[in-house]
Amino acid sequence: MRQASPRFALDHMATPGLDVGALFAFARDQGLTDVQIRCQPRSNTIALGIPAADVRSAAAEAGVGIISVNALQRFNEWTPARKAEASKLADYAAACGAQMLMLVPVNDGSWPANGEHRGDLRTALKALKPILQSRGLIGLIEPLGFQTCSLRSKSEAAKAIAAIDGRSVFRLVHDTFHHTLAGETFFSCELTGLVHISRVNDPIHWIYPDRVLAGSDNGSQIRALLDGGYGGPFSFAPFVDAAHPLDDFAGALAASIDLVRHGLLTRLAA
């Protein structure tokens, strides 16, 4: 059944100047009930040493849910060090009340352009499966779409999930930015666990500053996902400068939400 209205969420990258408690309050004040937290330098909740229990309490106090912790980097380059890192992040995600752990592939152009990486991907998923299962987490795989990425497409990720019987543990991120960059037509609504909304101003020049709030080029993807039965959150994931005034961002966020809703209502009325 088609989701009547999108459920919107916010990625911490959108408000990198806020600590995690302020992020939760900001999301609540914008009428959002779900957030994503990060362990990257722009918004480094974990590296800053914030106890998972404190994050969980702050989310509960604000009345928001934590969709995911982002991210286990280079997850498909499986090593003993990666296993230890995965276990640590999974422990943190479970303890802070997150539902999912983001999994980001190698993206430096270092992998050979042949089938070798497919075996590495399946090896990593097999190893991650019990780590996630034992903690009640879903692994969110995010193909990045770049020419430099070892995992560009959702279709390849879906095949790997099927190959290791991982549908109970793994889901895909449909990122409107990366979907456009990859030139992908593949949609797997039943396997999608999260949608990132951002706009690509120029799909030829894929540098991250071109990734901004929702525009008209997101509409067809959002409609296809809803029509296909996707019922999860749509998370706004723009890159925003930490010095950018929050009032300006709040206005841009509200305008983006209105734009998406208006576009969907216009289509339904047509």
8-25, pLDDT tens digit by residue?
999 988 888 888 899 999
Mean pLDDT of the chain: 83
H-assigned helices in 97-218: 116-133, 154-163, 176-182
- Tell me whether strands 65-73 and 100-104 are parallel, antiparallel or unpaired: parallel
Q: How confident is the model at residue 145 (pLDDT cuts 50, 70, 90)?
A: confident
The answer to whether residue 129 scores a pLDDT higher than 80 is: yes
From the list 152, 151, 158, the residue with the least C-alpha distance to 172 is 158
pLDDT tens digits, one per residue of 178-196: 787 778 888 899 999 999 8
The answer to whether residue 30 scores a pLDDT higher than 50 is: yes
Q: Which amino acid is at 144?
A: L
Which of 56 and 252 is assigned the larger pLDDT? 56
Q: What is the pTM of this model?
A: 0.86
Give mean pLDDT, residues 151-180. 92
Give mean pLDDT, residues 106-130. 79
pLDDT at 238: 77
Phi, psi of 211 (to 5 degrees): -95, 110
Angle at 9 between CA 37 and CA 176, to 5 degrees: 95
Q: How confident is the model at residue 268 (pLDDT cuts 50, 70, 90)?
A: very low
From the list 67, 58, 74, 61, the residue with the least C-alpha distance to 37 is 67
For each of the domains in the chain, give its residue range(s) and CATH number, in order of start. Answer: 7-269 (3.20.20.150)
Give mean pLDDT, residues 57-63. 97
pLDDT at 267: 52
* 3-state class (DSSP) for residue 44: strand
Separation in Å, CA 45 to CA 54, 60, 217, 231: 11, 16, 32, 28
